[in-house]
Chain A
Amino acid sequence: SAVISQKPSRDICQRGTSLTIQCQVDSQVTMMFWYRQQPGQSLTLIATANQGSEATYESGFVIDKFPISRPNLTFSTLTVSNMSPEDSSIYLCSARQSDEQYFGPGTRLTVT
């Protein structure tokens, strides 16, 4: 299995600012993903973080709002840009090994 860590675990940010979330996997993985989870809701895929190329975004999510980097096979970042209160959520990093997909502990973001 893959062990995933995220930083920060939580943050409170001002409207209009940006926050970068870091994700570190303890082993090389082929695929990494970023999800958003609203309180009491299921998991919504934001994008697939592609190593060495631009991320692949799901419908409703755009690169200008959620720029993603993946410089190598164990690390990725998600930036939430120009934040508004609607961006308050839990952001989860995920990694896939073979068929199995694992999740990090999440970053709880509150925008005031």
Chain B
Amino acid sequence: GENVEQHPSTLSVQEGDSAVIKCTYSDSASNYFPWYKQELGKGPQLIIDIRSNVGEKKDQRIAVTLNKTAKHFSLHITETQPEDSAVYFCAASIHGQNFVFGPGTRLSVLP
């Protein structure tokens, strides 16, 4: 079955710097890759996703890139702010079925 790895497990950046989180997946049939942000005491929130027919997607300060050949996808956050501090989870699925989540990355944005 699908296996999703995520790196790094923790990441600290200075406010205003960029943050990059990378995930790799094992099943080449996976074609939908969402990213979730989970703040303390809250449920995971879908922040951006990408499908296998595109290589990059942007939404203001966040972007996701996908390399199907290498089977990895990355979350990029630019101009980080303290409110970006949270745990971020990537996931992979086939046509929105059987989501497999990565282990998470704890991002700390230092003022």
B-binding residues in A (CB < 8 A): 1, 4, 41-43, 45, 92, 96, 98-106, 108
- A4 / chain B contacts, CB cutoff of 8 Å: 43
Contacts of A100 in B (CB 8 A): 34, 46, 49, 96
In the complex formed, the residue of B with least CB distance to A90 is B43
Q: Tell me which residues across on chain A come within 8 A of B51, comparing CB atoms.
A: 99
B61 contacts chain A at the CB level, 8 A cutoff = no
Question: Footprint of A on B, CB under 8 Å?
Answer: 32, 34, 36, 41-46, 49, 51, 89, 91, 93, 95-96, 99, 101-104
A99 touches B44 (CB 8 A): no
Nearest B residue to A33 by beta-carbon distance? B99
A99 in contact with B32 (CB, 8 Å): yes
B43 touches A106 (CB 8 A): yes
Alpha-carbon distance A103/B34, docked complex (angstroms): 13
Question: How close is A103's CB to chain B, nearest CB, in angstroms?
Answer: 4
Write the chain A residue with the least CB distance to B104. Answer: A42
Chain B: minimal CB distance from A56 (Å): 11
Check A101–B96 contact: CB distance below 8 A.
yes
Query: A2 — nearest CB in chain B belongs to which residue?
Result: B46
Q: Report whether A105 and B43 are in contact in the complex, using a CB–CB cutoff of 8 Å.
A: yes
